[in-house]
């Protein structure tokens, strides 16, 4: 008997597993998990959250025969989930996205507490994005609350949500390397060491950081059940709800105040005239509109002007840039004004998200999560080739290997920006020429349209992949 493909990232839950079965996303439950799921699905709060698209839509489904070995206790039932268009991870989100996901987590917990339920997990990996709107996907995390028990996900919430946000808001520390470096997040001890003494007077640091660090130090050698001891302390639902409201106020008040970065004000720079900006936008929209696109990647999106422009012609646009502030500004605009089908991510193409976790498959590499059918790469080639030293033929081959149509911009070596980058290089970039780039393109793509901007130093190409 064949075995259904099991999502490698779902092994942590011993009561349910996620499967990719024939194109459907299924969650199978053990007998105990199925009983909990049926109880949750009958509640008013769950139905409200699904209707508001804050929890993934799910329906009961037949148990696939090949799923029998997915759980050691056996399979008692299955549900079919609505598929997320493109899976993302918290170490790829800007500040505003991580905060929005944290507030959603707290909102779901508050709703569940009102009807006698709770969430046993508090992981941002349980949240995915429908454009700029977060949605909770781990319905198996809901369970009946045990009277007297605290919120067992509190420390996980701090390590994966609160501490990364505090460090960015209070210390201007990028949380992405920390979350990518450990799936468990930032420990209280690590967070305390990274904060300045005066930060300990700011909201959230005394109770949620310092006190938690001391508690962990004190209980490190404890051989008793800490969860059992906390349950014996007699936590009430009202006490847990009070803590949730406190955390909601704390997170709602957090601000990342950095005003500018290398590329967040790029649009206002002197790299393009207004004429060239208009020509560039029209060219990109024209290329995208040749057919409806399922998935578009906008590489080096900056603050997302072109991602937003092509959104009407795509099912989903994933807008990527290495500049955290630029991507955070894009998220704020998307959350306020749309469009609803653009997901902004903090991605360094010279160091993209790898496979990490158990077997290096728990969290998948960026390029294994769904291939685009259109790639937009504007004002990007010269940064990868000149700053990153990526050889032009390797760069073109990488773009071609994505298997998508391509809109790309080439910045000639006599362009002011290219001259500035070359001025600081001691390596030989004599092969960085417009003629060489076009020759490399011709090997892998068919040119649909070519347009030189009025500046004379930048050329746009609309290309079809040779399949």
Least confident of 43-47, 99-103, 247-251, 430-434: 430-434
pTM: 0.93
Q: Which element (helix H / strand E) includes 449?
A: strand 445-452
Q: What is the pLDDT of residue 2?
A: 45
Look up residue 449 and give its two tokens: 């349209």
Q: What is the CATH number of domain 266-465?
A: 3.40.50.150
Dihedral angle over CA of 111, 117, 121, 123, nearest 10: -10
Residue written as token pair 């030189």:
452
Q: Who wins on pLDDT, 171 or 222?
A: 171
Is pLDDT of 269 > 50? no
pLDDT band at 260 (very low <50, low <70, confident <90, very high): low
* Nearest by Cα to 120 from 202, 48, 15, 31: 15
Q: What is the pLDDT of residue 386?
A: 94
pLDDT band at 1 (very low <50, low <70, confident <90, very high): very low
Task: Tell me the average pLDDT across 198-214.
Answer: 90
Instruction: Return the HEC string of 74-94.
Output: CCCEEEEECCCCCCCCHHHCC
Task: Tell me the average pLDDT across 167-174.
Answer: 95
Q: What is the pLDDT of residue 220?
A: 67
Average pLDDT, the chain: 92
Task: Please give the Cα distance from 171 to 163 (Å, whole number).
Answer: 11
Task: Tell me the average pLDDT across 330-347.
Answer: 97
Task: Tell me the average pLDDT across 327-352.
Answer: 97
Q: What are phi and psi of 149, to 5 degrees?
A: -90, 140
Q: What is the pLDDT of residue 328?
A: 97
Share of the chain above pLDDT 70, in %: 93
Q: What is the pLDDT of residue 221?
A: 61
Least confident of 165-174, 257-266, 280-289, 356-365: 257-266
Task: Tell me the average pLDDT across 204-231.
Answer: 74
Residue written as token pair 């008013």:
44
Least confident of 166-180, 217-231, 325-339: 217-231
Is pLDDT of 262 > 80? no
Q: For the segment 413-463, what is each residue's pLDDT rounded down to a tens digit?
A: 999 999 998 887 777 888 899 999 999 999 999 999 999 999 899 999 999
* Nearest by Cα to 10 from 419, 362, 414, 393: 362
Task: Tell me the average pLDDT across 18-31.
Answer: 90
Task: Tell me the average pLDDT across 62-74.
Answer: 87
Is pLDDT of 226 > 80? no
* Nearest by Cα to 91 from 171, 178, 153, 163: 178
Task: Tell me the average pLDDT across 352-372.
Answer: 95
pLDDT band at 53 (very low <50, low <70, confident <90, very high): very high
Q: For the segment 83-103, what is each residue's pLDDT rounded down to a tens digit?
A: 999 999 999 999 999 999 999
Pair type for strands 16-21 and 374-377: unpaired
DSSP 379: S
Q: What are phi and psi of 350, to 5 degrees?
A: -80, -10
* Nearest by Cα to 378 from 298, 292, 290: 298
pLDDT band at 339 (very low <50, low <70, confident <90, very high): very high
Is pLDDT of 268 > 50? no
pLDDT band at 224 (very low <50, low <70, confident <90, very high): low
Task: Tell me the average pLDDT across 136-152.
Answer: 95
Q: What is the pLDDT of residue 406?
A: 98
């Amino acid at each position: 008997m064949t075995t259904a493909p099991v999502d490698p990232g779902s092994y942590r839950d011993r009561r349910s597993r996620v499967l990719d079965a024939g194109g459907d996303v299924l969650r199978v439950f053990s007998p105990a998990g199925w009983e909990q799921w049926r109880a949750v699905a009958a509640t008013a709060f769950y139905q409200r959250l699904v209707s508001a698209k804050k929890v993934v839509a799910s329906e009961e489904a037949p148990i696939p025969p090949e799923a029998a070995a997915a759980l050691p206790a056996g399979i008692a039932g299955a549900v079919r989930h609505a598929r997320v268009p493109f899976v993302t991870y918290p170490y790829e989100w800007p500040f505003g996205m991580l905060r929005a996901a944290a507030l959603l987590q707290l909102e779901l917990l508050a709703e569940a507490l009102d009807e006698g339920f709770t969430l046993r997990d508090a992981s941002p990996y349980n949240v995915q994005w429908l454009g700029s709107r977060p949605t909770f996907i781990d319905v198996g995390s809901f369970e009946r609350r045990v009277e007297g028990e605290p919120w067992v996900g509190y420390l996980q919430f701090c390590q994966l949500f609160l501490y990364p946000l505090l460090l960015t808001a209070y210390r201007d520390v990028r949380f992405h390397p920390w979350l990518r470096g450990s799936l468990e997040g930032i420990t209280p001890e690590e967070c305390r060491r990274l904060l300045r003494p005066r930060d300990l007077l700011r909201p959230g640091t005394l109770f949620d950081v310092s006190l938690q660090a001391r508690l962990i130090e004190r209980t490190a050698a404890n051989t008793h059940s800490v969860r059992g001891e906390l349950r014996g302390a007699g936590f009430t639902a009202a006490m847990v709800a009070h803590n949730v409201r406190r955390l909601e106020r704390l997170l709602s008040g957090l601000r990342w105040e950095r005003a500018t970065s290398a590329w967040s004000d790029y649009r206002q720079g002197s790299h393009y005239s207004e004429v060239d900006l208009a020509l560039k936008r029209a060219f990109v929209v024209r290329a995208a509109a040749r057919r409806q696109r399922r998935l578009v990647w906008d590489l080096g999106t900056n603050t997302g002007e072109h991602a937003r422009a092509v959104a009407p012609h795509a099912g989903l646009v994933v807008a990527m840039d290495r500049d955290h502030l630029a991507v955070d500004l894009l998220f704020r605009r998307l959350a306020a004004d749309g469009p609803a089908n653009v997901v902004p991510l903090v991605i360094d193409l010279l160091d993209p998200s790898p496979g990490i976790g158990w077997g290096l498959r728990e969290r998948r590499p960026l390029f294994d999560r769904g291939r685009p059918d259109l790639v937009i790469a504007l004002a990007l080639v010269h940064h990868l080739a000149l700053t990153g030293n990526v050889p032009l033929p390797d760069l073109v081959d990488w773009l071609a290997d994505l298997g998508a149509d391509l809109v790309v911009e080439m910045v000639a070596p006599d362009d002011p920006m290219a001259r500035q980058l070359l001025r600081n290089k001691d390596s030989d970039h004599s092969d960085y020429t417009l003629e060489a780039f076009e020759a490399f393109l011709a090997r892998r793509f068919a040119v649909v349209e070519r347009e030189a901007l009025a500046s004379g130093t930048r050329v746009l190409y609309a290309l079809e992949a040779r399949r």
